[in-house]
Amino acid sequence: MTSGTEGTGALAQEVAAPRPRVRWRARLALVLAAGFGLVAMSWPLLTTPGGALTETTSGPWLFALLLPLVTAAVLMQLSDGGLDARAVAMLGVMSAVVAAVRPFGAGAAGVETVFFLIILAGRVFGAGFGFILGCTGLFASALLTGGVGPWMPFQMFAAAFVGLGAGLLPRTGTDTRGGRAAELVLLAAYAVVSSILYGLLLNLSFWPFAITQGNLAYVPGGGIGENLPRLFAYSLATSLGWDIGRAITTAVLIALTGPLLLRVLRRAARRANWV
């Protein structure tokens, strides 16, 4: 019902009305937040023997409390001076869609139905929008299902960067058949990489307090040589299947729904340009 009404010429002009502008301060904040997030998730691998974090077991809790603060600071910088009403409404609706499709992936192993939406929306509406959507989408779905827990800050943060990265991918022409196919291939490849990275980083953030004794546990002060094989074995034993499942389902969903959803989202972006 949508095909045929839109000429390819209209698709070609990249209209992106509800794009939150990303100023230099917001960029700096994003880079700093990415640096902090990297430490917050992968500190078990990065600590050196004798470092202050190796002596306490409160690392994950500390970072789970500090991450919301960092996320709030970045969101404030991104929405500095007020978000457009259209961006707010669009964010709300897209977050609702994310929250509505998330339960579909909860039952089956590794089926993840959130990422393809965040990636496609980040692609159409830009990096800043993708970042905020990653946060608000996962937050809204956690609120709706009563799933707020110590893992939520990490999930929100990682999903936000998935959306940000989707907005930063290079442009392919969307006015030719080849350009649109190339865009889908690019997005699917990005989906595979980002899903596996997301799984590994989340695993890493939860690992030190999921298991504390035995061959698979994190050794405080063990350094990367001691802990990397243990992490690898832990991932293999627990979640690698899920991560690969998530990567495959996200890529397949993008390939299947991408043409339609990209068209729907671009139409909305064009129509939102009503000022």
Partner 1 sequence: MSVPARAPVRPTATHPAPARRRTAHPVAWWGWALLLATTAGRTANPWLLLLIVAVAGLVVTFCRGDEPWSGAYRVFLLIGLTAVAVRMAFYIVFGGSDGPTVLFSLPSTTLPDWAAGFRLGGNVTAEGALAAAYDGLRLATLLVCVGAANALASPRRLLRSVPAALYEVSVAVVVALSVAPQLVAGVGRVRRARALRGNTNRSPANLMRTVAAPVLHDALDRSLALAAAMASRGYGRAAGIPAPARRATGAALLFGLLGLCAGAYALLGAATPAPVAWTLLAAGAAAAVFGIAFASKRVPHTRYRPDRFGPLDWAVLASGAAAVVGTVLSGLTDSAALWPATNPLAVPDLPLWAAAGVLLAAAPAALVPSTPKGTT
Site for partner 1 in 66-105 (CB under 8 A): 66, 69-70, 72-77, 79-86, 88-93, 95-97, 99-100
Q: Which residues of 221-242 are buried (b: 16+ CB within 10 A; e: fewer)?
A: ebeeeebeebbeebbeebbbeb
Query: In the bound complex, what is the minimum distance in angstroms from residue 53's beta carbon to partner 1?
Result: 5
Nearest distance from C-beta of residue 170 to partner 1, angstroms: 26
- Is residue 2 a contact point for partner 1 (CB under 8 A)? yes
Number of Cβ within a 10 Å radius of residue 162:
25
Of residues 241-260, those binding partner 1 (CB under 8 A): 256-257, 260
Instruction: Return the number of the residue (96 or 184) whose C-beta is nearest partner 1.
Output: 96
To which residue do tokens 């991104």 refer?
A: 78
Site for partner 1 in 134-173 (CB under 8 A): 135-137, 139-140, 143-150
Q: How many residues interact with partner 1 (rule CB under 8 A)?
A: 91
174 binds partner 1 (CB under 8 A): no
Structure tokens at 244: 């690969």
Minimum CB–partner distance for residue 255 and partner 1 (Å): 12
Backbone angles phi, psi at 210, to 5 degrees: -80, -35
Report the residue number, 49 or 178, with the smaller CB distance to partner 1: 49
Alpha carbon distance 263, 208 (integer Å): 43
DSSP H helical segments within the chain, as ranges? 8-12, 24-46, 59-78, 85-101, 115-125, 127-145, 152-168, 177-210, 223-238, 240-271
Instruction: List the one residue out of 161, 145, 153 whose CA is nearest residue 104.
Output: 145
Query: 219-238: which residues touch partner 1 (CB under 8 A)?
Result: 229-230, 232-233, 237
Of 5-13, 24-32, 157-165, 241-249, the window that binds partner 1 (rule: CB under 8 A) is: 24-32
Greatest Cα-to-Cα distance within the chain, rounded to the nearest angstrom: 65
Nearest CB to partner 1, comparing residues 189 and 236: 236
Question: Is residue 107 within the footprint of partner 1 (CB under 8 A)?
Answer: no
